[in-house]
A = this chain, B = another copy of it.
């Protein structure tokens, strides 16, 4: 069996999820914590690569012994969160755990993921929101942004919303929902899809900002998608506004 963990992390002080030669990563912290708890080298396989500085309210990880398809342990799933949290730093927490079959792969099994991009539209920057949003102090029309977001829905080739240099061939993705809402001075862009290209949500968010300022019309999003040209989409927004918010697996 593998141990499937649901975790959350504050990405501010991480160089993303995946282990790297230089820089602190979420995976390295999980590998270490699991090794300390289970007394053997472990491998924490994540549901997604996430970039440096990006946060996760929900992220899924399957733990195996390193070099094996399973983990041999008598630890109950109920006790796993507290046991692991005791070995983890404050910016990662385990919120749920369950034992799953060896065949389960936390990335390939994903049915859909939801990301939220947070834009703080207050006049002055906020010490409490700076870590968890992008500050845009200029006028943004959230209704226009919401209209623009609706054109992301459906199955499209999202090549125009992929970081230049990415080598992925199949750039078609299905977006289940995409919308923009406003809570006080916070503008929230939520998007659920069966998969995402590199930097896709951050480029979508930059394009919605263009719609919000009036630089483009909401319906221009259709043409930008159709063009397949990265330069026609908006800029890549900074990582601190981005949260992986939900990961959906097949119903049991």
Contacts and interface: CB of A to CB of B under 8 A. Distances in A.
Contact of A94 (B57, B93, B124): B124
A9 interface: yes
B126 A93 contact: yes
A207 interface: no
22 contacts: A8-B126, A8-B127, A8-B128, A9-B127, A10-B127, A10-B128, A55-B128, A57-B128, A81-B123, A81-B124, A82-B124, A85-B124, A85-B125, A90-B125, A90-B127, A90-B130, A93-B124, A93-B125, A93-B126, A94-B124, A95-B123, A95-B124
Contacts of A55: 128
A127 B95 CA distance: 11
A81 B127 CA distance: 14
B91 A127 contact: yes
5 nearest A-B residue pairs (beta carbon) = A10-B127, A91-B127, A95-B124, A93-B125, A93-B124
Residue from the set A9, A124, A126 with the largest chain B CB neighbour count within 10 Å: A124
A197 interface: no
Interface residues of A, number: 22
Interface in A89-111: 90-95
Contacts of A10: 127-128
Contacts of A57: 128
Contacts of A132: 128
A127 to B, nearest CB: 4
B8 A92 contact: no
A60 to B, nearest CB: 15
Interface string A198-239: 000000000000000000000000000000000000000000
A130 B85 CA distance: 13
A93 B127 CA distance: 6
A12 to B, nearest CB: 9
Nearest to A57: B128
